[in-house]
Amino acid sequence: MKPFTDFKSRMVRLPINNVDTDQIIPARFLKTTSKEGLDKQLFNDWRYDANGNPNPDFVLNQPRGQGAQILLAGDNFGCGSSREHAPWALTQFGFRAVISSSFADIFKNNSLKNSLLPIVVPPDVHEKLFALPEDAEVSVDLAAQKLILPDGTQVGFPVDGFSKTCLLDGVDELGWILKREARIAAFEQAHG
Amino acid sequence: MPRTLIEKVWDAHVVADEPGAPSLIYIDLHLVHEVTSPQAFSGLRERGLLVRRPERTLATADHSIPTTDRALPIIDPIARKQLEQFEKNCADFGITCFGVHSDKQGIVHVIGPEQGATQPGMTVVCGDSHTATHGAFGALAFGIGTSEVEMVLATQCLLQRRSRTFQVRVEGTLKPGVQAKDIILALIARIGIGGGTGHIFEYTGSTIRALNMDQRMTVCNMSIEGGARAGMIAPDDATFQYLAGRPMAPKGWDWDASLEHWKKLPTDEGATYDRAISIDADALEPMITYGTNPGMGVSITAPLPEPSSIADPIERESVEKALRYMGLEGGKPILGHPIDVVFIGSCTNSRISDLRAAASVLKGRKVSPKVRVMVVPGSQAVKHQAEAEGLPEIFRAAGCEWREPGCSMCIAMNGDQLTPGQYSVSTSNRNFEGRQGKGGRTFLASPLTAAASALSGTVSDVRTLV
């Protein structure tokens, strides 16, 4: 995994609660055996009309939806299916962080394994972020676990220590587990 | 100290608890299917790794497999390639695979239990959020992503944080026409689809005890729709009777030893949960969803919610948006709404009890000529059992399609799908926008409600038939 570095970016706003992974990438695109090219299908059914033309009302098709690395989403983002294609599609599109008031458990786990940082903020901060001007840039400092708003306000966010280390150092979780081979073998010995 | 079922199973699987890291937990059973595994197998090849315990891994093709005659070639070239790659991956890595032409093929959450692979006290994972189903046996079972699939293939372990515990106590007797599906839809309608986030449910109470294993699986299956990664039910005699004699269940002396262990799993007297909720089964009516997430559910006789009466602005907007997508009006009844398709199947409701329930309504009757009715058994074993009982004849005589096993129109990636604007009454688990086909509109309900609705071609209350 590539180490996660600090960055500053505008935010793409998606003020909808309970965005499920079927919306992030519909199931019919899950017949692929590769991880690549999923950015084209990100939010497919909101992004394109029945003829495959971009829907001008959808934020990713507007200038404000281009080039931003932060997705500012409604509550309980990523609920539903466990498909890791969701964070793959988001990161391939260019997102490095999603900010919400809460995330579904499996999506959050999957994101952390793909250098996509799920940032949970309290409801009042969540509201404040949605109220910022479209071009406002927010800084993400993972080491300090802080968001820095344009007016200099700093907002802390929780990240468990292990995930933080993995993100910052680019630690490969499978590699970490493989180093515990002796422990695993001992467990198997004891439990049959 | 008294412990819950959840804590007992967790504690028995901790391989390592190192400071600053999540627990390393051991996985007893890893179920694998074609959609969330290809990239994991590619990862193993890139790293030069093998599957650590192939005998603890069981694979089947379900998501992208057609539900038409298996003797026919698979028309969709992308699905065909995925299925071929899947069977090759399993063969290369020594994993038992119930593939496209196996007579044991089926939905992964149907075949685990029916083979006796799912057992009380186990940890079970699969790259599929409905892995929660296996919790019906007192297993700690949850869905994982593809990176985690690769980790379990390679190490049989996962790094996990302990979830909080959430007791869902259901007491009373279900009235005629009310099924296990209605219990879980009622729970989700009450707590919302994020209500169980960070928690594992344990379903307890007299109503749960009275359910058979198929019905318990229906309840546990939709734990994820309540936000919980897992939902468990303590094993009891119904569990043991179900498992006895299954192909992969313990035999002889092993069975006796297992039984002794399994009987110690139920939550101890005096153990406490982080959260708890009670549901009165006597008061439950058949449930149906009207919106675009499984939490948007009502009693079938109730009017749809009126957005103007919802105080919270975001909640109001989300109900408005859902009603708009569904083409419904707040305050109106859902009963009598015309439908185009009825889907009876999915890992929620495709087992033999579900098919028997649907057949009991359809027997000797005809479905509405305006409605396409698909009955998709959960596995080849379910299909054979249904055939032995004469159920396909009942379905066909009523005007239903009787198809080959698979996920089918629950996830609509195999060609079984709604066309834009169509309405379905579906026994599956998700009513998200486009879930059953782009632009399709889904009402989730029980097999009884689905069958009753098939007859009239409208959303119907089965109790008006019984």
Domain edges within chain B: 5-160, 164-235+257-283, 287-464
Reported ipTM exceeds the 0.90 cut: yes
Q: What is the mean pLDDT of residues B52-73?
A: 96
Task: Give residue B466's pLDDT.
Answer: 59
On whether the B164-235+257-283 domain is CATH 3.40.1060.10, my answer is: yes
Identical topology for domains B5-160 and B287-464: yes
Out of B20, B145, B193, closest to residue A76 by CB: B193
- Tens-digit pLDDT profile for residues B429-443: 999 999 999 999 999
Shortest alpha-carbon distance between residue A47 and chain B (Å): 12
CB B104 within 8 A of CB B378: no
Q: Which residues of A touch B39 (CB under 8 A)?
A: 33-35, 84
Nearest CA in chain B to A20: B432
Q: pTM for this structure?
A: 0.97
Read off φ and ψ for residue B116, nearest 5 degrees: 80, 15
What is the C-alpha to C-alpha distance for residues B234 and B136, in angstroms, rounded to an integer? 8
Total domains in chain A come to: 1
Q: With respect to residue A57, please indicate whether it lies within any of the assigned structural domains.
A: yes
Strands B275-280 and B230-232: unpaired
Q: Which residues of A touch B321 (CB under 8 A)?
A: 16
CB contact under 8 A, A183 and B432: no
Q: Mean per-residue pLDDT for A137-158?
A: 97
- Pick B22's closest partner by Cβ from A34, A80, A162: A162
pLDDT surpassing 90 at residue A118: yes
Q: What is the dihedral of CA B217, B185, B314, A55, to 10 degrees?
A: 70
Residues B87-104 have a mean pLDDT of: 98
Which pLDDT value is given to residue A192?
A: 73
Q: To the nearest whole percent, how much of chain B has pLDDT over 70? A: 100
- Which one, of B31, B14, B9, lies nearest residue B234 by Cα? B9
Q: How far apart are CA B153 and CA B258, in angstroms?
A: 25
Please indicate if any CB of chain B lies within 8 Å of the CB of A57.
Answer: no
Average pLDDT over residues A120-139: 96
B50 within 8 A of B89, measured Cβ to Cβ: no
* Contacts B151 to A, Cβ<8 Å: 173-174, 177
Residue B66 pLDDT > 80, yes or no?
A: yes
Residues of A in contact with B24 (CB under 8 A): 177, 180, 183-184
Coil, strand or helix: which one is B140?
strand
- Does the residue A2 lie in any domain? no
Contact: B78, A23; criterion CB under 8 Å: no
Closest alpha carbon to B24 in A187, A146, A57, A55: A187
Q: In terms of residue numbers, what domain contains A52?
A: 7-191
User: Which one of A15, A35, A105 has the shortest CB-CB distance to B197?
Assistant: A105
Interface membership of A79 toward B (CB under 8 Å): yes
- Exposure string of B86-121, with b = 16+ CB inside 10 Å and e = fewer, is bbebbeebebbbbbbebebbbbbbbbbbbbbbbbbb
A35 touches chain B (CB under 8 A): yes
* DSSP assignment letter at B434: T
Distances (CA, A) of B443 to A147, B322, B334, B409, B459: 41, 12, 10, 13, 9
What would the DSSP string read from start to end of B435-455? Answer: TTSTT-EEEE--HHHHHHHHH
In chain A, which among 115-154 make CB contacts under 8 A with chain B?
Answer: none
CATH superfamily of B5-160: Aconitase, domain 3 (3.30.499.10)
Domain presence at residue A185: yes
Please provide the average confidence, as pLDDT, over all residues in chain B. 97
For residue B152, the model assigns a pLDDT of 98
Å between B215 CA and nearest CA of chain A: 22
Burial code of B313-332, b = ≥16 C-beta within 10 A, e = fewer? Answer: eeebbbbebbbeebebebee
CA distance B62 to B32: 10
- Contact between chains at B155 and A177 (C-beta distance less than 8 A): yes
Q: What is the pLDDT of residue B90?
A: 98
CB of B206 closer than 8 Å to CB of B171: yes
End-to-end CA distance of chain B: 49
Q: Is the pLDDT of residue B263 over 80?
A: yes
Mutate to test the interface with B, among A81, A91, A163 (most CBs of B within 10 A): A81
Place of tokens 């004699």: B245
Contacts of B146 in chain A (CB under 8 A): 84, 110
CATH number of the domain enclosing A138: 3.20.19.10
Q: Is residue A1 included in any domain, yes or no?
A: no
Pick among B29, B39, B324 to test the A interface (most A CBs inside 10 A): B39
Q: A20 vs A25, B431, B434, CA distance in Å?
A: 9, 11, 11
- Option in A18, A102, A110 nearest B293 (CB): A18
The span from the CA of B183 to the CA of B185, in Å, is 6
Tokens 């002794």 found at: B260
Give the pLDDT confidence score for residue B101 in this predicted structure.
96
Q: Which residues in chain A touch residue B319, judged by CB atoms under 8 angstroms apart?
A: none
Instruction: Tell me if A116 is assigned to some domain.
Output: yes
Quick one: pLDDT at residue B170?
Answer: 98
Per-residue pLDDT at B321: 94
Q: Which residues, in sequence order, are CB contacts of B237 under 8 Å at separation 6+? A: none
Q: Considering only alpha carbons, which residue of chain A is nearest residue B411?
A: A27
Distance from CA of B324 to the nearest CA of A (A): 14
Of A28, A33, A75, nearest to B82 by CB-CB distance is A33
Average pLDDT rounded to a whole number, residues A100-106 = 97
Counts for chain B of helices (H) and strands (E), in that order: 15, 19
Over residues A60-87, the pLDDT tens digits come to 999 999 999 999 999 999 999 999 999 9
CATH of the domain spanning B287-464: 3.30.499.10
Binning pLDDT at 50, 70 and 90, where does residue B387 land? very high
| A88-127 b/e (C-beta count within 10 Å ≥ 16 → b) | bbbbbbbbbbbbbbbbbbbbbbbbbbbbbbbbbbeeebbe
